[in-house]
């Protein structure tokens, strides 16, 4: 990865002398343009490509092939190898291609893993994927139902629930109720949470916005979600810099985004709640579940996008399942996103007009 970093800087800034003003900082900024977690993901995925270009070729009696620049035919063969190997599902291919594309783009070349042939092969990859892969059924990610999350909230507030189980349940409820990405949820610290008379406020760290932008989400009212998180901070105290979900009040380290899914499974095992056959609840299921629940009670798309921090409504659409009907649990979590009744607003307007007319009459006299 250090080689990629240095090559990236050289490709973009190599024409400048080492003592050119701002060059060193510009190189650091280029690297900081991706989060450490993204670099780590790219590193592991790119290693698979290197392995295919060297070890796999040698084991098959072929000479090694150059990983850079990647030839289109080699990339197609690489995807064929991954399908033959049977360890990467069709829905998980994109990170492997993104790593190769980003590597080439950073070094000033066109992205090689795009185009008609790649698209057709990926379609065939999915078509030829068996119903069962290594004994495990192929499943699709689905939104978590609001009823399921309401049961998890009740579990979190039960007096018999252990501290670790309460942590798991509370984190899942917050992730759902705020339509968070899993990584945004696990990165929360206590200083990012505010309890006010008007409600609960979270300052969200999201990968779609820079850290120089403060993104806050307000949940009005002191409802059950408000008190659930408030109680968690009381029974598991820590400093403002403490990770919100750390049991020991730790401020260093980090949680993997997969923790949310692991904690969800723990809660569902306790409650005996599981998705139907052919479906699963994954890392984006809280985000899609919250958005889908809000849509089911007729919350507007702009309101969902604003609350869930989608910059574009087009980006929100894939998370929604319009076939899901309304429920009491959906209202429980997202009624606050509904616009007030126009009848109520008209009644308030009549009162306001009467007050203004009374002031005008007093002035006239």
Cβ distance 282 to 181 under 8 Å?
A: no
Interatomic CA distance for residues 42 and 1, integer angstroms? 9
The answer to whether residue 359 sits within a structural domain is: no
Tracing tokens 């190189």 back to the chain, one arrives at 27
The answer to whether residue 13 sits within a structural domain is: no
Residues 98 and 191 in one domain: no
3-class DSSP assignment, residue 220: strand
Residues 161 and 301 in one domain: yes
DSSP secondary structure code for residue 91 in this structure? G
Interatomic CA distance for residues 150 and 134, integer angstroms? 34
Tracing tokens 């403002």 back to the chain, one arrives at 240
pLDDT given for residue 127 in this prediction: 87
Interatomic CA distance for residues 337 and 199, integer angstroms? 13
Residues 211 and 317 in one domain: yes
The beta-strand segments (E) located in the chain are 132-133, 136-137, 140-141, 193-196, 199-204, 215-220, 279-280
pLDDT given for residue 235 in this prediction: 94
Enumerate residues 6+ apart whose C-beta is below 8 A from 137: 131, 277, 278
For the chain, list residues with pLDDT below 50.
Answer: 132-135
Residues 239 and 290 in one domain: yes
End-of-domain residue from the set 90, 120, 137: 137
- The first and second tokens of residue 80, run together, are 């064929």
pLDDT given for residue 251 in this prediction: 63
3-class DSSP assignment, residue 243: strand
**For 302-358, how does the pLDDT look when each residue is reduced to its tens digit (9 = 90+)?**
999 999 999 999 999 999 999 999 999 999 999 999 988 888 889 999 999 999 988
End-of-domain residue from the set 137, 165, 193: 137
Cis peptide before 69 (omega within 30 of 0): yes
End-of-domain residue from the set 88, 107, 137: 137
The answer to whether residue 18 sits within a structural domain is: no
Residues 190 and 281 in one domain: yes
CATH number at residue 211: 1.10.443.10
pLDDT given for residue 134 in this prediction: 46
The answer to whether residue 24 sits within a structural domain is: no
Residues 62 and 210 in one domain: no
| ∠ CA 262-268-270, rounded to 5° | 110
pLDDT given for residue 2 in this prediction: 86
Residues 197 and 308 in one domain: yes
Residues 96 and 154 in one domain: no
**For 62-74, how does the pLDDT look when each residue is reduced to its tens digit (9 = 90+)?**
999 999 999 999 9
Interatomic CA distance for residues 103 and 42, integer angstroms? 9
Residues 207 and 320 in one domain: yes
Residues 151 and 260 in one domain: yes
Residues 94 and 170 in one domain: no
Interatomic CA distance for residues 175 and 154, integer angstroms? 15
3-class DSSP assignment, residue 313: helix
Structural domain boundaries, residue 230: 146-337
Residues 283 and 196 in one domain: yes
Cβ distance 82 to 96 under 8 Å?
A: yes
The answer to whether residue 3 sits within a structural domain is: no
CATH number at residue 97: 1.10.150.130
Q: How far is CA 67 from the centre of its chain?
A: 31
pLDDT given for residue 131 in this prediction: 54
Interatomic CA distance for residues 52 and 65, integer angstroms? 9
Interatomic CA distance for residues 85 and 96, integer angstroms? 14
Q: What is the CB neighbour count within 10 angstroms for residue 69?
A: 12
Structurally, the chain folds into a number of domains equal to 2
The answer to whether residue 220 sits within a structural domain is: yes
């Amino acid at each position: 990865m250090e080689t990629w970093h240095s090559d990236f800087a050289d490709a973009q800034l190599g024409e400048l002398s080492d003592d050119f003003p701002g060059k060193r900082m510009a190189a650091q900024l280029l690297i900081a343009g991706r989060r450490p977690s993204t670099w780590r993901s790219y590193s592991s995925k790119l290693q698979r490509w290197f392995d295919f270009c060297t070890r796999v070729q040698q084991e098959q009696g072929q000479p090694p092939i150059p990983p850079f620049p990647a030839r289109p035919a080699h990339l197609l063969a690489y995807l064929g190898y991954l399908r033959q190997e049977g360890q990467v599902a069709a829905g998980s291919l994109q990170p492997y291609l993104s790593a190769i594309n980003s590597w080439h783009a950073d070094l000033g070349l066109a992205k090689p893993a795009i185009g008609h042939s790649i698209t057709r092969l990926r379609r065939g990859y999915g078509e030829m994927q068996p119903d069962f892969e290594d004994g495990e059924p192929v499943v699709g990610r689905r939104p978590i139902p609001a009823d399921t999350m309401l049961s998890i909230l009740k579990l979190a507030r039960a007096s018999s629930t252990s501290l670790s189980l309460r942590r798991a349940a509370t984190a899942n409820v917050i992730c759902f109720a705020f339509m968070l990405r899993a990584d945004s949820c696990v990165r929360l610290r206590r200083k990012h949470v505010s309890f006010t008379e008007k409600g609960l406020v979270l300052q969200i760290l999201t990968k779609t916005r820079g850290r120089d932008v403060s993104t806050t989400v307000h949940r009005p009212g002191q409802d059950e979600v408000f008190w659930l998180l408030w109680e968690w901070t009381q029974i598991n105290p820590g400093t403002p810099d403490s990770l919100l979900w750390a049991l020991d009040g730790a401020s260093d380290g980090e949680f993997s985004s997969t923790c949310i899914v692991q904690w969800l499974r723990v809660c569902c095992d306790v409650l005996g709640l599981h998705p139907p056959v052919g479906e699963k609840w994954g890392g984006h299921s809280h985000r899609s579940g919250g958005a889908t629940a809000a849509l089911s009670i007729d919350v507007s798309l702009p309101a969902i996008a604003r609350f869930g921090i989608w910059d574009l409504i087009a980006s929100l659409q894939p998370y929604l399942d319009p076939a899901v009907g309304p429920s009491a649990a959906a209202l429980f979590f997202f009624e606050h996103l509904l616009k007030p009744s126009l009848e109520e607003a008209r009644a308030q307007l009549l009162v306001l007009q009467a007050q203004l007319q009374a002031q005008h009459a007093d002035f006239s006299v």
